[in-house]
Structure 1
């Protein structure tokens, strides 16, 4: 679930991405100030647009992905009900870009540059992530963009498959995180060993003094 708001770029519209359309043909239907976006083939909802949203949620501060409170989510669902949409929006409230720990790392069997990792994120969850960085190795503290994360450039992270191996997220470089003075060399951002696993990356972003 991705919530995105950028009044300067697109107007007073809250965009909600609920699923990956995977290049399938999509259509839309509108009721009141809400537009539902769905896959033509099977009707699966992949997104919502809430127009003039500041009338309901007040002034939102964001230039990309934002995070809503439980109360704000309840207000969105009330808007859906008021215009007779039957679906509701549910969000687990967990951060999407977090500090991870690479527990295992081995070479991809069908690639000379990819590695397959088992990386712990928040809540003790372990994700299999395929990584192409030359400096990836077991034992590192890293930044993980989990599925449903929106990156600083607006791109979204979804589960994928790289050369026959499923991958559930991305281990990020400083450049992908748009950190200042990011190294030009290819490679993931390696965090200090004492960094807490599972913490939201924005919480520690300002405290970083070393990029590697």
Structure 2
């Protein structure tokens, strides 16, 4: 789930994206809530007069907190909208360790990596030329929202399932990002499974 709020640019509207679908959208209206559907599935809500219902700080992509989920769920129930928000609040950008790297069976420039994130191993297809076994890396888990606004989802790349993304400095919008392509390799001071960004703790 992604929350976007920009009162100066858009008005007092909270945009709740559950699934970033862009085709076959349908809209239903219930008081201050616009329900957005794609092929009969709810993919998002626009909440008007949002500051009346949800405590919001800042502008742009909003870091989701328990208070946001609780307020939005309460608003849905009061408007007789039968939808249960299911949100994983665990950190989405974590330190991972590449335990195994193999060649993609159907793409010369892709590698299939097994990445330990402490509470499990993720299979991630990566196209970076500098990816290798034994590296500590930054992993954007499913549900992460990149600085570009892209939502990380389960994917399949050339027939191979991929869960999450191994990130470059540029993708993380970090200062001093090199121009050449490649993932960010961390030093040994980082602990596998811990949040990469301090404000995710």
Aligned to 2:18: 18
SS in 2 for 1:7: coil
- How far 1:9 moved relative to its partner? 3.6
Equivalent position of 1:29 in the other structure: 28
1:12 Cα offset (Å):
2.4
Instruction: Spell out, residue by residue over 1:25-70, the C-alpha distance to the aligned partner (whole angstroms, 9 max, x if none).
Output: 2212121111121112xx111112222221122342232242222x
2-structure distance, mates of 1:156, 1:175: 16
State the match for 2:47 in structure 1: 50
CA distance in 2, matches of 1:199, 1:63: 25
2:77 is paired with a residue whose SS is helix
**Are the equivalent residues in 2 in contact too, given 1:113–1:132 (CA < 8 A)?**
yes
What is the total number of aligned residue pairs between the two structures? 200
- Residues in 2 aligned to 1:5 and 1:199: alpha-carbon distance in whole angstroms: 28
User: Under a length normalisation based on structure 2, what TM-score does the superposition of the two structures give?
Assistant: 0.91
Assess, with a 3 A threshold, how the Cα gap between structure 1 residues 125 and 3 changes in structure 2: closer, same or farther: farther
**Paired position in structure 1 for 2:180:** 185
Superposed displacement of residue 137, structure 1? 0.8
Alpha-carbon distance in structure 2 between the residues aligned to 1:61 and 1:102 = 35
Q: Which residue of 2 aligns with 1:210?
A: none
1:155 and 2:154 correspond = no
Compare the two structures and name the one with the higher helix fraction.
1
Q: For residue 111 of structure 1, report the CA deviation from its aligned partner.
A: 1.3
- Structure 1 residues 187 and 94, CA gap change in structure 2 (3 angstroms): same
What does residue 134 of structure 1 align with? 129
